Structure 1
Amino acid sequence: MDITGNTVFIPGATSGIGLALALALRERGNTVIVGGRRTELLERIAAEHPGVETVRIDTADATSIAEASKDVLARYPQTNVLITMAGVMRAEDWHRPESFLASAEDTVTTNVLGPIRLIAAFVEHFQTLPDATIMTVSSGLAFTPLKITPSYNSSKAAIHMLSETLRLQLADTSVQVLELEPPSVQTDLMPGQAENEHAMPLAEYVAEVMSIIETQPDAREIQVERVKFLRYGEARGDYDQVVAMLNAEDPHGK
């Protein structure tokens, strides 16, 4: 993926990693369209960051995805990068179905069906372009589970395998498939995570991501150094220790 000269649509970018990445990409000379559910946040972003475009989208709603994607392609037909940023992360107790089932269903709808529907809305258009990128967003927790977030872990593992498979299927096209794999980052994804001393500072995370994209244009998985502890535990042979350390030290995670 080139670091500049793109038109980038990032649904789920009204805060956290999504917004920080959107602003960093804008600074590098990309046209950036931020998507989100809350109109007041979109209006604030447009006012505070002139040049950042906005569109309302609810990535848990199939109709909203279809309508917003059609709007983006009509207004910005040069769109060549989709970053499926939107996601939810919730603590769940699976001892009793009444305490987790609704949360699990919402998580799968947002974290798995949302990206699938977004990719479906853009993939044909992307294949008509000389160069396009789909960037999915999984997590270090796709590879090492955090005990309190089973549905989130599972949804991100699904995104990892989806990314791997799409890369194989689209290898005969102009579409590059990247997978962003964050560690725990200081955002509001879960209560208290923004203040979590074990989490990576947001600005530091996005700066490292941008450096990887710039210096490793052929990278398939965008991994900052911190996430490799989670990503490669099984390959290193210390998976059990990594699981134990993660669940002993970090009450939150991404």
Structure 2
Amino acid sequence: MNTSANTIFISGGSAGIGLAIAKLLSAQGNKVIINGRNQQRLDKALQQLTNAVAIQGDLSIENDRIRIATTLKQDHPDLNILINNAGEAFPYSPGQTANDYEYAAREINTNYTAIIHFTQLLLPALKQKPQSALVNVTSILSMIPSSGLPTYAASKAALHFYTQSLRQSLSDTNVRVFELMPPLVNTDFSAPIGGENGIPPQEVAADLLVALASDQFDIPVGQTKAVYALFQEASAKLKN
């Protein structure tokens, strides 16, 4: 699909992977709308972008999702690409804390069910565009479990399978469905789990741009490529 002259909404766009994607797509001649919870961080991010605006809000909260979706449809009717990037993660060992349920509930809400709802709110408008796309950001942990991020991995696995099903369901529409699968990335978000050992967020953004241009719907990045290849090989053997 075209990688310029789009109007693109990026959740979690004030820092990390989201901001790196925003910078690259903005530089490609797209109108970029970034979202985040903190207005000061959004304002700081906007100083690094051209042709960009921000909508503050917490997409894990239903009323905020509805408000943001309404604003997008009213103020940015040309929106044709939705990038669901915002996420939440809690490092812990299951069964070793009193917070397993609380952590799981928040991660499943932010990383999975809230994305389904927000997509549902905007999908009718995306279907009306001659060319549109939906990008869900999952993780290498959508394919392998993690004892240190157990319910984060589970939430990303849920989003992975939902994204695959949504792609099949929308195959006869103008909406292309992409899945971006980064490994550990060096961002503030991943700092508590050793993010300094991860790849730069700019690498994730660059791979996304290439995939959009070539309609490569599954986008494993960095170390995820090896894991993804193993899963593809196993899937092919099962089909045979």
TM-score (norm 1): 0.86
Q: Is the 8 A contact 1:33 1:53 kept in 2?
A: yes
Note if 1:176 corresponds to 2:176.
Answer: yes
Match in the other structure for 1:163: 163
1:222 corresponds to which residue? 219
1:5–1:30 Cα contact (<8 Å) kept: yes
Letter in 2 for 1:221: D
**1:46 CA displacement:** 2.5
How big is the shift at 1:102? Answer: 0.8
Percent identity for Structure 1 against Structure 2 = 27
Do 1:11 and 1:57's aligned partners in 2 also have CA atoms closer than 8 Å?
A: no
Larger mean Cα displacement after TM superposition, 50-59 or 8-17: 50-59
8 Å contact kept, 1:187–1:193: no
The amino acid across from 1:147 in the alignment is S
- Superposition deviation, residue 207 in structure 1: 2.3
1:188-229 Cα offsets, whole Å, 9 max, x none, are: 2233457532x1122233223323333x2x211112243112
Displacement of 1:6 in angstroms is: 0.7
- SS of 1:200's partner is coil
Q: Any unmatched runs of 5+ in structure 1?
A: 238-254
**CA contact 1:137–1:181 (8 Å) conserved in 2:** yes
How has the CA–CA distance of structure 1 residues 19 and 196 changed in structure 2, closer, same or farther, with 3 Å as cutoff? same
Cα RMSD for the two superposed structures: 1.8
Equivalent residue of 1:121, what SS? helix
The structure-2 alpha-carbon separation of the partners of 1:235 and 1:50, relative to structure 1 and needing over 3 Å to count, comes to closer
- Whether 1:81 aligns to 2:81 is yes
Change in Cα spacing, 1:129 to 1:27, as seen in structure 2 (3 Å) is: same
Alpha-carbon deviations, 1:17-59, whole Å to 9, x = none?
Answer: 0011011000001110001111111222223434211001211
1: CA distance, partners of 2:81 / 2:105: 28
CA distance in 2, matches of 1:81, 1:180: 14
1:223 is matched by which residue type in structure 2? P
Number of equivalences: 234
Amino acid at match of 1:178: F
Distance 1:97 1:108 in 2: 18
State the Cα deviation string for residues 116-165 of structure 1 (Å, max 9, x = none).
Answer: 11101111111111111111111111111222111111111111111111
1:99 alignment partner in structure 2: 99
Is the 8 Å Cα contact of residues 83 and 137 (structure 1) preserved in structure 2? yes
Question: Which region of structure 1 is more displaced relative to structure 2, 226-235 or 26-35?
Answer: 226-235
Which segment drifts farther, 47-56 or 26-35?
47-56
Tell me how far apart the structure 2 counterparts of residues 174 and 25 of structure 1 sit (CA, whole Å).
21
C-alpha change, 1:201 and 1:50, in structure 2 (3 Å) is: closer
* Corresponding residue number in structure 2 for 1:207: 206
Which amino acid letter does the alignment assign opposite residue 204 of structure 1?
Answer: E
- Give distance in 1, aligned partners of 2:55 and 2:182: 25
Closer/same/farther in 2, CA of residues 75 and 194 from structure 1, 3 Å limit: farther
Between 1:223-232 and 1:157-166, the stretch displaced more is: 223-232
Aligned to 1:196, the other structure's residue is in SS state helix
Mapping for residues 99-248 of structure 1, pairs under 5 Å: 99-192=99-192, 196-197=196-197, 199-214=198-213, 216=214, 218-235=215-232
